[in-house]
Amino acid sequence: MIQTTRLLLVDDEKDLLELLVKRLTRNGYKVDSAESAEAALVLLKENYYDVAIYDIRLPKMDGITLLKETKTIQPDSEILMLTGHGTLETAIEAMKLGAFDYLTKPYNLTELELTINKAINNKSLKEKNESMRKIIKQQNEFQIIGESETLTEVINLTKRIADSEVPVLIDGESGTGKELFAKALHYWSLRCDEPFVAINSGALPEQLLESELFGHVKGAFTGANQDKKGLVETANEGTLFLDELGEMPLPVQVKLLRFLESGEFRRVGDVRERKVKVRIVAATNCNLEKEVAAGNFREDLYYRLNVVRLTVPPLRERKDDIPLLIEYFLKKMNHSQKKLSNEAMEALKQYHFPGNVRELHHIIERGLLLATSNYIEVEDLLIKAKENQSRPSLTFDSLCSLEEVEKTHIKNVLNKTGWNKTKAAEILGISLRNLYRKIEHYELVEV
């Protein structure tokens, strides 16, 4: 019997409740008890339980309602229902709602203990199956493709630091595969069986991002109808990947720094401190040093995260990997019989790839769609126009500042893409939010 197994007993018959607590505690379980569903809900929000045992008939909120609430708060807990007055239909309803089993009062204590053990074994089996399912899925889907010297250096460094607990900052242009290396840090480490949780730091407004990261309590803000666990709790013992780190709002940066320093945090609207153990991996395609100088990113957070840095090379710096990547994409898309003509392969090796590996994937998808034989030809790739956009010429009559170069380059890309900001941001290798900020800073207008 697992000594750390934690049980929650809920019954309004006080004498029976005390008897059960003594018996189960004596047998090595850690047991909490409550005489009402309301009191049980308080315990459920503060502690995790492997198995909960509820009497169906309780004052005010009944056991069926408590079962529903529990599955929302702790969906992995196994629940046993006790009924002395209910009907078979009530027990069946409980099973449909996720109860593991039910016993009818009066029941034999030995029978109860056997059912608890079955629930524990069932929970353990589900956890093992889920872990195995995730491992198999990772083996099937997780691959870093390439043998070039520049990529191999990054792969080797990733393997060396995978088991470390220190934060890692991954930088590189958009589409180079930064999240893939974040997953490598996780799945090549001893924490590979624990959660890998990712969030785009620039995709959400400040309040929503804070709530997603740290969770919130009921009533913390409009629409917070129940307590919610944040991603730092979900990632406990595993890895939290913060993509687009440079776009994180400053107030959330403050809270992230505090969490990095102590492992402690508060849910939005809560006063209680919580603590978890999470490895933080962050990624950015912007120049954080420049963002720090501009006051858009906290210097102390930058140094706290920049303990180890991985720089993922752009595809134009590892063009020897292009044939391997194409072979991988064709196989993944179930078109292994298709090949690129020599001319098409040479055209791709000469291409600048502003969108990097992600763009190559899209080009191959397009080539497959347009090809009329088993060979994908140059004209099927449609990359000439993109090549012209990727490297607009900059000419200046006199020496000028870096700001002027950036302003002119951004303006050229916007004009050549017809002010398609999403496309322009992809070519520039920056986030859409960052592009909007630069348009405002340089007072650029469409003409």
Dihedral of the alpha carbons of 400, 403, 404, 409, in degrees to the nearest 10: 130
Query: Which of 10-19, 73-82, 310-319, 398-407 comes out lowest in average pLDDT?
Result: 398-407
pLDDT (0 to 100) of residue 28: 86
Give SS3 for 286.
Answer: coil
Quick check: 385 pLDDT over 80? no
Dihedral of the alpha carbons of 379, 383, 388, 389, in degrees to the nearest 10: 140
Q: What's the pLDDT band for 141 if we cut at 50, 70, 90?
A: low
Query: Which of 126-140, 211-225, 265-279 comes out lowest in average pLDDT?
Result: 126-140
**185-199 per-position pLDDT tens digit:** 998 998 888 899 999
pLDDT (0 to 100) of residue 123: 87
Per-domain boundaries in the chain = 6-127, 147-311, 315-390, 402-441
Q: What's the pLDDT band for 387 if we cut at 50, 70, 90?
A: very low
**Domain boundaries 315-390, CATH class:** mainly alpha
Which of 294, 201, 181, 296 minimizes the C-alpha distance to 256? 201
**301-310 per-position pLDDT tens digit:** 999 999 999 9
Q: Report DSSP state, residue 401.
A: -
In degrees and rounded to multiples of 5, residue 12 shows phi and psi of: -85, 0
Query: Which of 13-22, 153-162, 230-239, 416-425 comes out lowest in average pLDDT?
Result: 416-425
pLDDT (0 to 100) of residue 84: 74
From residue 410, how far is each of 31, 131, 339 by CA, in Å? 63, 47, 36
**77-91 per-position pLDDT tens digit:** 999 998 876 566 787
Alpha-carbon Rg for the chain, nearest whole angstrom, is 28
Interstrand relation of 196-200 and 239-243 (parallel, antiparallel or unpaired): parallel
Residue 3 or 146, more confident: 146
Give percent of the chain above pLDDT 90.
55
Give the CATH H-level superfamily of domain 6-127: Response regulator (3.40.50.2300)
402-441 matches 6-127 in CATH topology:
no
**47-77 per-position pLDDT tens digit:** 889 999 998 888 899 989 999 999 989 888 9
pLDDT (0 to 100) of residue 343: 94
Give the CATH H-level superfamily of domain 147-311: P-loop containing nucleotide triphosphate hydrolases (3.40.50.300)
Give SS3 for 121.
Answer: helix
Evaluate if pTM is beyond 0.75: no
Give the span between the Cα atoms of 362 and 400, in whole angstroms: 37
**240-273 per-position pLDDT tens digit:** 999 999 999 999 999 999 999 999 999 999 888 9
Which of 257, 281, 302, 317 minimizes the C-alpha distance to 164? 281
Q: What is the mean pLDDT of residues 380-391?
A: 59
**421-441 per-position pLDDT tens digit:** 888 887 887 888 889 889 988
Number of H helices, E strands in the chain: 20, 14
Rounded to the nearest integer, the mean pLDDT of the chain is 87
pLDDT (0 to 100) of residue 384: 60
Q: What's the pLDDT band for 400 if we cut at 50, 70, 90?
A: low
Residue 183 or 1, more confident: 183
**CATH number, domain 402-441, options 1.10.10.60, 1.20.120.80, 1.10.10.10, 3.40.50.40:** 1.10.10.60
Give bridge partners of residue 33 from the DSSP assignment. Answer: 9
Give the span between the Cα atoms of 409 and 404, in whole angstroms: 8
